[in-house]
Every structure is written in structure tokens, then in C-alpha cells.
Amino acid sequence: MPASGTPLKRLGFLTIGLFDPADPAGGHETMLRIIERGEQLGFDSAWLRQRHLQYGISSPTAVLAAASQRTNRIELGTAVIPIGAENPFRLAEDLATVDVLTRGRLNPGFSAGVPMNLDHYRDAIYPHTSEHEDFGYERLLRFRDFVRGDVVSGFAGRQGIEEFADTVQPHASGLVDRLWYGGGSTRSAVWAGENGFHFLTSSVVQGEEGDDFATNQRSQILSYRAAHPLADAARVSQGLVVIPTDSASASQRARYEAYAASRAGRVGVPHGPKRMLFAADLVGTSAELADRLHADPAFQLVDEVAFALPFSFEPDDYAQILTDLAERLGPALGWEPAAR
């Protein structure tokens, strides 16, 4: 256990899963191998971002279904699926199926609101109904009702030789208790708490209390737990970009430092009308990173993380980063790997 406080209980990683448009199969295979490697290293969870009309994972449900057949223990999550681009009924069927395939290891995370860049593809997804669509929280609550097993049909029974249910099938027992909400504002944090979702907080938050990222993130975590029935026991996962360099080559270290430097200008400056704030990317040895994390006011409130892998690195970089996270930084934070 580190001298600075509570040991980290759960260590995860998050990736966008980029691929070359000329070889999408190769990129998806690399992603699956990264998840397999994560399980071998003892990580507790692997999380996928969802991206529409980009060269990243557009269907995390399909990728996680594949990953379910190549792993046995590691939990598999989404961070996040924008519910506004989904049919809640069909998504409930898909995610319940994946959870059955994982034998209860799925942790779906969502966001509500108008999906990013929806104007670019609105006519493709909602050509006649976009002005009638509910992109808010109610859409996500409908999904939760379906997963929970609420009745969705006025008929159940036999019709000819076929049997019909009045609830979404398959029913994935326990999935409703593993739903996460990715929020970046006090309003979203309070909503997630009041509605019993677990809470994902990332490297982007709304600046409601000045321009310091960690101060705002800590405040949102406290607001979430104050609203949640479980209070301080409610689960929160923090997702910062954290890059350990212990076993990195000189060229890797230089590339990592250049990556962080290229994004440093956005830190500490509010962006847009909602005053969005970005966390600094953390690069250094595991000892250095542990000191910085222990000094982070928001990290001090959590005991689980899903460190975000940078978008544009190479497979060898991800292998090195994951290995150092599991074998060096994790233990420096008091974490113990799951049985392999």
C-alpha cells in the first residue's frame, strides 16, 4: 500500500482502436490482441471508445463480442456509447447478448445528449425524425428499463410453433447493475448518482469552479456521490492519459514527450461556451507518475482507473505502456494484478 493513502483496487485501460482504412481487419485484430495482452498482465478491465465516421471503433459491441471469445476474466466496457445515435431497444438486445457471451463481464458506459458531429450525418440516421428524437437522459433510461427486464410487448406466448417473450431477450442477469455514465459536468454527475449509474470521469470536464481541471473533477465526483444512494461507496473510474516510460526506448520517450507537449497548450484554458477543461497528459517514470497522481485532488477520491491510451501510437508502444502500467505503476499505486 502506498504511503499516500488508499491503494488502487482496479486498474483498466481505454483505447479508441485506430485502424488503417486500407486494412481495417488488421487494426481490429491489433485491438483484440491488446485486450488479450491486458488480461495476461492482470488488468481488471479494458474499455473501448466509440467513434462514428472515423478510422476507429464504430461498433464496440461487435469488437467486445469477439473479445469475449478470446478472454476469460478481464471485464470489458464501453466509454462511451452516445445513446443518441442508438435505438435503445436494439442496443439492449445487442449488449445483453454480449454480456451473455462474456458470462457477466460487460460494463457498458454511455453518454446522453446530441451526439458529437451529429449534424454531419443526421440525414443518414434520422432522415425524417430528427426533430422528434429525444436525445436526453430519458433515452438512456428506456435502455435501462429494457435491460432490467421491463415488459416491452403486449404479447407473450406461443404463436404457431414459435415462442415469444414480452421482455428483451436474452435477459442478462446483473447487467443493469453494471451500467456506467460518462459525465463531465455537475449536472450529469448528479443525474448519474440519482439514477444509480456508476460514474466515468475522463480527461475533459466542464469548468464550473474556475480553470483548474482537478478542482472541477473532484467537485463533480463529490456531487455524484452525494446524490448516489451508496454515497462514498458509489463506484467512480477516472480516465486520464498516463504514459509510463520505465521500459521505453529513448525514441519512444521522445515521442511520448512530444505528444504531450503538442497538447499542453489546451491545458488550464477553458474552451467554448461550456468552458471545457482538459487534463494534462502525464508522462514519466512510474515513480514520478505515482507522485503526481497521489497529489491529484480527484485521484485521491477514486480507487479505480481506466488510463487512456493515446490515439496515434504504434502497437509496440501500447505493449510497452501496458506492461509498465501493470508491472510498475500499478504496484506503485497499491494495486495488485488479478490472478492470471
> Mind listing the pLDDT tens digit for each residue in 80-135?
999 999 999 999 999 999 999 999 999 999 999 999 999 999 999 999 999 999 99
What's the Cα-to-Cα distance from 76 to each of 247, 254, 278, rounded to whole Å?
Answer: 27, 31, 26
pLDDT at 5: 67
Residue pair 107/76 in contact (Cβ under 8 Å)? The answer is yes
Rounded Cα gap, residues 105 and 70, in angstroms: 13
Dihedral sign computed on CA atoms, order 289, 295, 296, 302: positive
Mapped onto helix, strand or coil, the DSSP state of residue 10 is strand
pLDDT of 1 over the 50 cut: no
CA trace torsion 90, 91, 93, 98 (10° rounding): 150
Rounded Cα gap, residues 161 and 146, in angstroms: 26
For residue 186, give every residue at least 6 positions away whose Cβ sits within 8 Å of its Cβ, in sequence order, or none.
206, 208, 219, 220, 223
Q: Measuring CA to CA, which residue among 183, 195, 199, 194 is closest to residue 235?
A: 199
Answer left, alpha or beta for residue 5, where phi above 0 means left and psi between -120 and 50 means alpha: left
CA trace torsion 340, 179, 50, 263 (10° rounding): -80
Rounded Cα gap, residues 338 and 90, in angstroms: 33
Residue pair 79/49 in contact (Cβ under 8 Å)? The answer is yes
Copy the grid coordinates of residue 56.
Answer: 476507429
Report how far Cα 290 is from the mean position of its chain's Cα atoms: 22
Global confidence as pTM? 0.97
Q: Measuring CA to CA, which residue among 44, 32, 77 is closest to residue 198?
A: 77
pLDDT of 330 over the 90 cut: yes
Q: Give the pLDDT mean for 272-299.
A: 98
pLDDT at 3: 45
Q: What does the pLDDT look like over 53-66, one tens digit per residue?
A: 999 999 999 999 99
- Other CB atoms within a 10 A radius of the CB of residue 153 amount to 10
Copy the grid coordinates of residue 152.
Answer: 416491452
Copy the grid coordinates of residue 224.
Answer: 455524484
